[in-house]
């Protein structure tokens, strides 16, 4: 018999639902209290304990992990604004789920979060044990909590970068809105990794000439502005930019889309039918 104490009634209800969904024949459970589940091992103790451990681990991952992440976001890194917390939480999930690369390699041993929890549960669980799940998480899941903290750190770094990027884009957007249009139309040919400029009459404009159009004020901005594509376009402030590309998801093109918005028009590469030689 194992007694597990929960902090909230709704946690116990979720745990019971998880147990019922699992329907493992190695153990059964009952509860006579709003916050206590009693688990009876039905077969070989070792197998039964492992089955209980798997269920507890799944409960922590599914119903406690977000709360732990939010606690780290607010308690360790002092982000108390709810909207910011949710954005960082979403970014943390993108790292946890492998959608973003862990460039710091915080999980050097390659263990999954479930494995870290199981490593702590298996030697801990035994017949006749009574314990608080919240206390177990706080005091016996240090490697797991450290891994969550690592991913929160990555998420916060990413959040700061995204905030800086949005500030950068808005700065350029405002600049373009106030800037006098130098060329009405620009044709931009994308042949990865390079971009080639053409004027309204489809005349090729070499890089040396483009540099002469760049507003010197942009060079002195605290944020780096690409001098080969972004700075010339922002300085020219065209009303329409035709981009000929087969890779509209390219990072630079996405930035151009964010800055110039409705002024930017994508066309397939083959739509640009003018031959040209590059100096």
What is the pLDDT tens value at each position of the chain, 279 positions in all?
899 999 888 898 898 888 777 656 666 778 767 789 888 886 657 778 888 899 999 999 999 999 999 999 999 999 999 999 999 999 999 999 988 888 777 666 578 999 999 999 999 999 899 999 999 999 999 999 999 999 999 999 999 999 999 999 999 999 999 999 999 999 999 999 999 999 999 999 999 999 999 998 887 776 778 889 999 999 999 999 999 999 999 999 999 999 999 999 999 999 998 877 665
- Residue 107 has a pLDDT of 67
In a domain, 278, yes or no: no
Mark whether 6 and 132 lie in a shared domain. yes
18 and 100 together in one domain: yes
| Distance of alpha carbon 260 from alpha carbon 169, whole angstroms | 9
Residue 276, in any domain of the structure? no
Asked if residue 168 and residue 48 are part of one domain, the reply reads yes
Q: How many domains does the chain have?
A: 2
| Domain co-membership, 164 together with 219 | no
Of 153, 172, 191, the residue that ends a domain is 172
> 27-44 burial, b for 16+ CB within 10 Å, e for fewer?
bebebeeeeebebebeee
Distance between CA atoms of 62 and 46, rounded to whole angstroms?
A: 24
Q: Are residues 135 and 197 in the same domain?
A: no
Res 17: pLDDT: 84
What is the span of the domain harbouring residue 64? 2-172
12/140 same-domain check:
yes
Which one of 172, 188, 223 terminates a domain? 172
- Does residue 26 sit in the same domain as residue 82? yes
Query: Would residue 277 count as lying in a domain?
Result: no
Domain membership of residue 112 (yes or no) is yes
């Amino acid at each position: 018999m194992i007694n597990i104490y929960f902090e909230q009634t709704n946690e116990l209800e979720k745990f019971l639902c998880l147990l019922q969904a699992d329907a493992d024949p190695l153990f059964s459970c009952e509860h006579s209290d709003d916050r206590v589940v009693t688990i009876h091992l039905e077969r070989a103790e070792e197998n039964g304990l492992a089955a209980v451990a798997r269920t507890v681990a799944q409960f922590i991952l599914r119903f406690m992990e977000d709360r732990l992440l939010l606690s780290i976001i607010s308690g360790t890194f002092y982000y108390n604004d709810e909207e910011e917390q949710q954005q960082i939480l979403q970014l943390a999930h993108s790292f946890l789920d492998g959608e973003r690369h862990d460039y710091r390699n915080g999980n050097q041993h390659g263990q999954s979060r479930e494995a870290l929890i199981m490593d702590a549960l298996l030697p801990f669980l035994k017949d006749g044990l009574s314990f608080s799940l919240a206390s177990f998480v706080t005091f016996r899941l240090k490697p797991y909590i450290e891994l969550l903290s690592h991913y929160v750190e990555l998420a916060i770094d990413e959040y700061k970068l995204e905030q800086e990027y949005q500030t950068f884009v808005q700065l350029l957007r405002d600049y373009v809105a106030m800037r006098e249009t130098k060329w009405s139309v620009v044709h931009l040919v994308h042949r990865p990794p390079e971009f080639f400029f053409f004027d309204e009459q489809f005349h090729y404009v070499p890089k040396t000439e483009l540099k002469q159009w760049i507003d010197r004020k942009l060079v002195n901005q605290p944020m780096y502005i690409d001098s080969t594509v972004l700075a010339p376009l922002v300085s020219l402030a065209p009303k329409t930019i035709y981009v000929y590309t087969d890779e509209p998801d390219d990072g630079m093109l996405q930035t151009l889309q964010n800055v110039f918005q409705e002024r930017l028009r994508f066309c397939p590469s083959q739509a640009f039918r003018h031959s040209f030689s590059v100096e």
